[in-house]
Amino acid sequence: MKRQSYFKDKRRDTIFEQKYIPFGTRTDFAIYRDKKGHKFLRNDKLDYALYLKPGGHIPKTGLALAKVLERFNVKGLKVLDVGTGENAFLAIHAKNLGARSVYAIDPDSTAVRWGKLNLKLNKLSSKIFLKKIGIEEYKSKHNFDIIIANLPQMPVKVNRSLHDDGGFDGREYILKLIERAKNLLERKGILLFAAFDFLGIKNSYNPQKPTILKILKENGYRFSIALVLNKKVLPGSYTLKNLSHIKSVYPGYRFIKRGGTMMYKIFIIEAYY
């Protein structure tokens, strides 16, 4: 019998609001709300929904990772979602694509609590294993075919947000991921992760910091850039508030400027070990 989500069971009580178009690109997602005003992000193609935490985060970069994940045949594979967040989005997406087993981790207790709510919403509580733990501490009895990660990577003087902050240079969790994934991947396993270009992906913007691609190579990975997106720096955004610190850590970086709008690139990196 086909599994039905809570959202599908209650569809007559939900109201369509709009198609979801982050980065100016159409997706399979739309935003709905129920009669109590709770909002949901629904995948119209795979027929699952995410309960959006009031005042929380709607997946954006995660959707780009999901798009790249769809290029692979994940049916029957073991997937680990690192930094799954309050929506447990990529874990739920991987399971709906047919992954055999899905594990998800996040060090933020609030994110884990809301992530478990979304597993329950989609009747996946017994099929996705969600644990409160960071990648540097995580151990598994088996290895994974795919590890996918959307990690905190905002350069900050002091970490304050488990959702956004990636240490003084923004690379703290990405470097931990690169190191730990070597022991968690199956042979020829795939590591997919997102990285902001000002961190120095292909080009170094701080002579004391090697590029992320060079670090991958030094750790024995083969890699390619799977997708590149432009992201706007919005007024009042977290990125704008940290602009002076970003420029001090990466003095060689120049934000893209188009028609008065400041932007930067997000790279989705595909690496094999």
CATH number of the CATH domain containing 204: 3.40.50.150
Instruction: Identify whether 42 is part of a domain.
Output: no
If one counts the domains in the chain, the total is 1
The torsion of the CA quartet 101, 106, 109, 110, rounded to 10 degrees, works out to -90
Instruction: Identify whether 218 is part of a domain.
Output: yes
Percent of the chain surpassing pLDDT 90: 82
Find the range with the poorest average confidence among 18-22, 90-94, 145-149, 153-157.
18-22
* C-alpha closest to that of 24 among 229, 261, 226, 234: 229
Instruction: Identify whether 233 is part of a domain.
Output: yes
pLDDT, tens digit, 9 for 90 and up, residues 164-192 = 999 999 999 999 999 999 999 999 999 99
Instruction: Identify whether 26 is part of a domain.
Output: no
* pLDDT value of residue 14: 80
Give the 3-state secondary structure of residue 156: coil
pLDDT, tens digit, 9 for 90 and up, residues 46-59 = 989 999 999 888 99
214-230 mean pLDDT? 97
Contact predicate 266/193, CB 8 Å? no
pTM of the predicted model as reported, rounded to 2 decimal places:
0.94
* pLDDT value of residue 1: 40
Instruction: Identify whether 49 is part of a domain.
Output: no
pLDDT, tens digit, 9 for 90 and up, residues 226-239 = 999 999 999 999 99
How does DSSP classify residue 52? P
Domain that holds residue 181: 60-272
